[in-house]
Amino acid sequence: MTHSQPYGLKAYTGCLLGLAVGDALGTSVEFQAPHSFSPLTDMIGGGFFELTAGQWTDDTSMALCLAESLITKQAFDPVDQMERYLLWYQQGHLSSTDKCFDIGNTVLNALKTFEKTREPYCGLTDIQAAGNGSLMRLAPVPLFYAYNPLNAIQYAANSSQTTHATRTAVDACRFFAGLLIGALQGESKTTLLSTRYCPLADYWHTYPLAPEIDAIACGSYKQKIPPPPSVVKHWSEIENNRYIRGTGYVVNSLEAALWAFYHTETYTDGVLKAVNLGDDADTTGAIYGQLAGAFYGETAIRPDWLAKLAHRKRITDYATQLATLAWQRQYPS
């Protein structure tokens, strides 16, 4: 019996390309406070790292390293993943500029520990290390395990633990893996953003999420608003639980990405909403781009942005190979 691939290839390519496009858009305003810049409407490059339009940062580099490992090993191999991250850090492997010009402290600490110990699960468990560095690169894992949601969620946790082992970061990846699987399966936005959505029935009741991630799973972002200028100026003095912020804290960045997805109906509108929050804009864009790219598909991403995107063919090729491997794992010949 032959099987046609039920999960559309354009969802796969949309997921990885969506990640890279969001990253490339957001780098223009990365590290800038909300309201301190003219709102982005196009892919223009520049920013802190002075990139050309279409070049992307560590988010996409690490995602491609993860994808390359899954494709090459045809399995989840955390040592191989860390070797590739190290190759990126030391030699610029899979960088848009052939150099590692942007790396988070939590990732850097993990890579240095791995160099010494060869132990792949060396992410810090301290709450101060609850950054978004594992969430920003996650997409290849659920793409590879798309036909087995249980494995997708479990390996999403493992992929975080290589560099980010605090519970909030791990559970952000677990929850987001479920959302990506649902998007690949063609679920509606209403379903995806319903309370505690998971492609596995009652999974979060059996394996509960950290309270901060559970609040997001219950829709905390739906009623929040971006901070007005008056709030940004006095941020440290104001209760900020009602505001959306795209910071490097994994809870904030996941919430911001879902807020942008919830409040828009196209990839373009949502990714611009995400990156225009400023702060860690490239990663907010990359997280949003994974989900929206899988949901809307590659054809929903502006062609002029795709034309500018650095290493577009490699990104598309990796997504296609992940789709093929996922299908072959489900229907071995």
286: left (phi over 0), alpha (psi -120 to 50) or beta: alpha
Given a cut of 50, is residue 3 above it in pLDDT?
no
Q: Tokens 């190759």 identify what position? A: 87
57 is in an annotated binding site: yes
More confident site: 131 or 231: 131
- 3-class secondary structure for 122-146? CCECCHHHCECCCCCCCCHHHHHCC
Q: What are residue 46's DSSP bridge partners?
A: 51
**pTM (predicted TM-score):** 0.96
CA geometry: angle 275, 220, 257, nearest 5 deg: 20
Model confidence at 325: pLDDT above 60: yes
Type of residue at 239: E
* Per-residue pLDDT, 248: 96
Q: Tokens in use for 85?
A: 């991250």
Q: Which one-letter amino acid corresponds to residue 180?
A: L
Residue 280 labelled as part of a binding site: yes
Instruction: Report the pLDDT averaged over residues 234-240.
Output: 58
Q: Is 160 exposed, middle or buried (0-12, 13-18, 19+ CB in 10 A)?
A: buried
Domains of the chain, each with CATH number or no CATH:
9-39+53-200+211-330 (1.10.4080.10)
Angle, CA of 265, 271 and 275, to the nearest 5°: 140
**Per-residue pLDDT, 158:** 98
Determine whether the annotation assigns residue 59 to a binding site. Answer: yes
